[in-house]
């Protein structure tokens, strides 16, 4: 067990068109913490993980696992285990041999290897598969074997590179909770890479959102969801994603309003100071509102009178327990998640109330949150 | 019931092809097991009884035991050393194609495929005898080295299909480069090892030219060499010649039957996804 620390880590690929894949990545991962690196393709999350594993060289900066600087230590001596996106099971070995391989190379006694492999197999419910070869396994079973191969090593840290992305949706949900359980059971540091924000939100103790090689925000799932620091994080985290309306902040007397075509919303007095401090008055801003914070029931019109507006419904999506209304608000799209009992139809003009205490404001130019 | 569709054109081609191969085979066997008298009566007919003395005579004339041993020694070591070394060379090149040295080696080996052997034959013999290797050992070395260009080409094509993640997984698991090659890559090269093994075995076993120019000691002669001598001396006795050919042919049939089971696709199946 150990903490993992990255200090001002860069990854630069030299060449004619030199590319910086990771820029100034700094993060302290506590012992036993489950940290998820999340971001779109090409954001540098896998590269960062591979640098921790030792599969990629660190161009600049320091990596510590425990107290030891690991930059120049070979992967096998870093005491980490990695689960690959495509499992990377040795096809000519049985499940047992696959799991035992790392221990054999480290000259563990036979009895100890057998005990560890059988224990891991039991945890993962793959004892009956030990004699099989990978080609005789389903995708989910292969994923478990890949996890098993990591578990038997009892490493200081587990690194997982999009381990669920090749599974079907149902299995992914199941394996998600199993990996979370595994983390609680093993009490080891987990560093997990995914492009799926749902996985990040459900599994991580902390989430690191990345884009174009830069860390955007590091925080707990709740904090990231409720207080995204910029437009990218706000749009990336949450499903369906946050709505953005571009408009201006207008101040008159002791009132401040967000004004956009067909919308004029009253901003809660508690936000005035921060808006003035950011110099956002009379300037273009982006208002962010999550779909679940727009309501169509009468009681919300009374509760949030300052947040009421009208919009035409373009698309109605019935999800069973709830429904999504995709609307046009003065030329800007807005998605609202409302209760399923509503009888709204396509083409209707509906009145909605926004919970103004839940709005997010972003500077249009810098895209940073106005906190 | 589902009716199986036949591709009649392909089937006819296959039958014709099979006849072209099987007919000479049939003739070889027939001539080998007939007495000269029966051969004079009918070329293609089946003999009343097998004339074993063709074989016993051929064995004594060609010193079959010793020559077979020579051929076997050369072929066995040529095959084993070729597989072990050529796969290693190919692995080094395949995984370092970004380096100009390895890329250069790749094209160097590749271009060697287009050099006709007779052009380099005599300088080569002079060179080998100058370093005292104009014998079986030298012959084995030449087979291993001369196979490189084609074998490296074949191995590299296959190595590219082996996912890099397998090596990375082994690396994280604690394996070094050497262990990764022998424990992960080499077993996965099975189909290519079989292909290279069969081709090298056929080449080394049947080769006439290289042993002819390289071997001066008659005690080291291989089967094709003694058959040549035998042919010129006893050209009238086809029965003996064919009995000797048949005996030389059988080991290669066995090699093929044993190795071809390894040439199967999908060895890496299950590695990824």
The structural domains of chain B, with segments of one domain joined by +, span 1-51, 64-272
**Tens digits of per-residue pLDDT, B132-178?**
888 899 999 999 998 999 999 999 999 998 999 999 999 999 999 99
Partners of A105 on chain B (C-beta within 8 Å) are 173-175, 179
List the alpha helices (DSSP H) in chain A: 45-53, 95-105, 110-124, 139-151, 169-186, 197-203, 221-226, 231-236, 272-277, 298-303
Partners of A86 on chain B (C-beta within 8 Å) are 163, 165, 271-273
Residue of B nearest to A75 (CA): B172
The count of residues in chain A is: 371
Closest CA to A352 of A323, A309, A314: A309
Task: State the pLDDT at residue B266.
Answer: 44
Task: State the pLDDT at residue A12.
Answer: 92
Q: What is the pTM of this model?
A: 0.83
Cβ–Cβ gap B163/A88 under 8 Å? yes
Integer Cα distance of A83 and A256 in angstroms: 52
B179 has a chain A CB within 8 A of its CB: yes
Task: State the pLDDT at residue B271.
Answer: 58
> Which two three-digit tokens encode residue A15?
């060449």
Nearest to A86 among B165, B172, B179 (CB): B165
Task: State the pLDDT at residue B151.
Answer: 93
Integer Cα distance of A23 and A25 in angstroms: 6
Range 2-61 of A in CB contact (< 8 A) with B: 53-55
B180 has a chain A CB within 8 A of its CB: no
A76 has a chain B CB within 8 A of its CB: yes
Q: What average pLDDT does range B187-203 have in this prediction?
A: 89
A89 has a chain B CB within 8 A of its CB: yes
ipTM of the complex: 0.84
Nearest to B271 among A54, A76, A88 (CB): A88
Integer Cα distance of B29 and B44 in angstroms: 10
* B-interface mutation test, from A76, A99, A134, A158, most B Cβ less than 10 A away: A76
Cβ–Cβ gap A149/B169 under 8 Å? yes
Task: State the pLDDT at residue B144.
Answer: 94
Task: State the pLDDT at residue B263.
Answer: 66
Cβ–Cβ gap A87/B172 under 8 Å? no
Q: What average pLDDT does range B222-231 have in this prediction?
A: 77
Cβ–Cβ gap B179/A89 under 8 Å? no
Task: State the pLDDT at residue B250.
Answer: 83
Task: State the pLDDT at residue B234.
Answer: 53
Task: Say if residues A98 and A150 touch (Cβ distance below 8 Å).
Answer: no
Q: Does pLDDT of B269 surpass 60? A: no
Task: State the pLDDT at residue B233.
Answer: 57
Strand order in the sheet with A263-266: A263-266, A255-260, A243-252, A284-289, A360-363
Integer Cα distance of A247 and A191 in angstroms: 39
Closest CA to A329 of A302, A294, A304, A285: A294
Strands A19-29 and A189-194: unpaired
Task: State the pLDDT at residue B272.
Answer: 57
Q: What average pLDDT does range B224-243 have in this prediction?
A: 72
Partners of A85 on chain B (C-beta within 8 Å) are 165
Q: How far is B253 from chain A (nearest CA, A)?
A: 28
Q: How far is B195 from chain A (nearest CA, A)?
A: 18
Task: Say if residues B139 and B129 touch (Cβ distance below 8 Å).
Answer: no
A–B interface: beta-carbon pairs under 8 A: 88
* B-interface mutation test, from A87, A144, A150, most B Cβ less than 10 A away: A87
Cis peptide before B146 (omega within 30 of 0): no
Cβ–Cβ gap A86/B179 under 8 Å? no
> Which two three-digit tokens encode residue A7?
């200090």
Closest CA to A369 of A234, A241, A251: A234
A135 has a chain B CB within 8 A of its CB: yes
Q: Which CATH number fits domain B64-272: 1.10.300.10, 3.30.1330.10, 3.40.50.300, 1.10.3720.10?
A: 1.10.3720.10
Nearest to B270 among A102, A106, A137 (CB): A137
List the alpha helices (DSSP H) in B95-185: 100-112, 117-130, 136-159, 164-173, 177-179
Percentage of chain B beyond pLDDT 70 is: 92
Task: Say if residues A204 and A193 touch (Cβ distance below 8 Å).
Answer: no
Task: State the pLDDT at residue A341.
Answer: 77
Partners of A76 on chain B (C-beta within 8 Å) are 171-176
Cβ–Cβ gap B166/A88 under 8 Å? yes
Contacts of A136 (CB under 8 A, 6+ apart): B270
**Average pLDDT over all residues of chain B:** 85
Report how far Cα A165 is from the mean position of its chain's Cα atoms. 13
Closest CA to A359 of A227, A185, A230, A163: A227
- A69 membership: H or E segment, kind and range: strand A68-69
Integer Cα distance of B6 and A364 in angstroms: 68
Residue A291 CB-half CA count within 13 A: 21
Which parts of chain A register pLDDT below 70?
A: 1
Integer Cα distance of A304 and A221 in angstroms: 27
């Amino acid at each position: 067990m150990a903490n993992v620390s990255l200090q001002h880590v860069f990854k630069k690929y030299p060449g004619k068109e030199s590319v910086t894949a990771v820029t100034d990545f700094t993060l302290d991962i506590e012992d036993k913490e489950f940290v998820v690196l999340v971001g779109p393709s090409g954001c540098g999350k896998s590269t960062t993980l591979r640098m921790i594993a030792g599969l990629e060289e660190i161009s600049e900066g320091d990596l510590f696992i425990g107290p030891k600087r690991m930059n120049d230590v070979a992967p096998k001596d870093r005491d980490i285990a990695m689960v690959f996106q495509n499992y990377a099971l040795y096809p000519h070995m049985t499940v047992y041999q696959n799991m035992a391989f790392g221990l054999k190379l480290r000259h563990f006694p036979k009895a100890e290897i057998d005990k560890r492999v059988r224990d891991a197999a039991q945890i993962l419910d793959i004892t009956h598969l030990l004699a099989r070869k990978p080609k005789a396994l389903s995708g989910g079973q292969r994923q478990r074997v890949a996890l098993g191969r990591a578990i038997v090593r009892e490493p200081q840290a587990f690194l997982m590179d999009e381990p669920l992305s090749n599974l079907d949706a149902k299995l992914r949900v199941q394996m998600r909770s199993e990996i979370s359980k595994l983390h609680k059971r093993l009490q080891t540091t987990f560093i997990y890479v995914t492009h799926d924000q749902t996985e990040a939100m459900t599994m991580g103790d902390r989430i690191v959102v990345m884009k174009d090689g830069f860390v955007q925000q590091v925080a707990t799932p709740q904090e990231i969801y409720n207080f995204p620091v910029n437009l990218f994080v706000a749009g990336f985290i949450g499903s369906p994603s946050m709505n953005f309306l571009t408009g201006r902040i207008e101040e008159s007397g002791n009132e401040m309003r967000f004004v956009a075509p067909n919308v004029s919303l009253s901003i809660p007095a508690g936000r005035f100071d921060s808006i003035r401090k950011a110099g956002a008055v009379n300037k273009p801003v982006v208002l962010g509102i999550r779909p679940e914070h727009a309501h169509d029931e009468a009681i919300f019109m009374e509760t949030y009178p300052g947040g009421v507006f009208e919009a035409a419904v373009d698309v109605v999506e019935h999800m069973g327990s709830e429904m999504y209304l995709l609307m046009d608000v003065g030329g800007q799209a807005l998605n609202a998640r409302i209760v399923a009992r509503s009888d709204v139809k396509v083409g209707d003009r509906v009145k909605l109330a926004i919970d103004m205490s839940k709005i997010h404001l972003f500077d249009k130019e810098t895209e940073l949150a106005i906190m | 019931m589902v009716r199986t569709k036949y591709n009649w054109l392909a089937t006819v081609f296959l039958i014709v092809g099979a006849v072209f191969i099987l007919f000479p085979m049939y003739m070889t066997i027939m001539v080998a097991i007939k007495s000269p008298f029966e051969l004079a009566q009918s070329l293609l007919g089946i003999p009343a009884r097998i004339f074993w003395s063709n074989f016993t005579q051929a064995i004594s004339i060609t010193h079959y035991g010793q020559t077979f041993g020579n051929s076997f020694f050369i072929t066995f070591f040529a095959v084993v050393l070729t597989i072990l070394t050529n796969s290693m060379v190919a692995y080094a090149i395949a995984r370092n194609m970004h380096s100009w040295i390895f890329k250069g080696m790749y094209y160097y080996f590749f271009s060697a495929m287009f050099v006709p052997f007779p052009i380099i034959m005599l300088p080569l013999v002079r060179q080998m005898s100058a370093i005292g290797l104009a014998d079986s050992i030298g012959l084995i070395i030449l087979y291993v080295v001369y196979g490189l260009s084609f074998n490296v080409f074949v191995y590299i094509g296959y190595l590219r299909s082996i996912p890099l993640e397998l090596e990375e997984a082994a690396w994280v698991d604690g394996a070094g480069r050497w262990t990764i090659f022998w424990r992960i890559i080499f077993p996965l090269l099975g189909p290519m090892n079989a292909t290279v093994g069969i081709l090298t075995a056929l080449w080394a076993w049947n080769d006439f030219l290289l042993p002819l120019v390289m071997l001066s000691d008659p005690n080291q002669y291989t089967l094709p060499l003694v058959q040549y001598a035998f042919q010129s001396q006893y050209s009238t006795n086809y029965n003996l010649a064919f009995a000797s050919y048949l005996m030389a042919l059988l080991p290669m049939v066995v090699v093929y039957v044993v190795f071809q089971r390894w040439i199967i696709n999908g060895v890496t199946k299950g590695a990824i996804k």
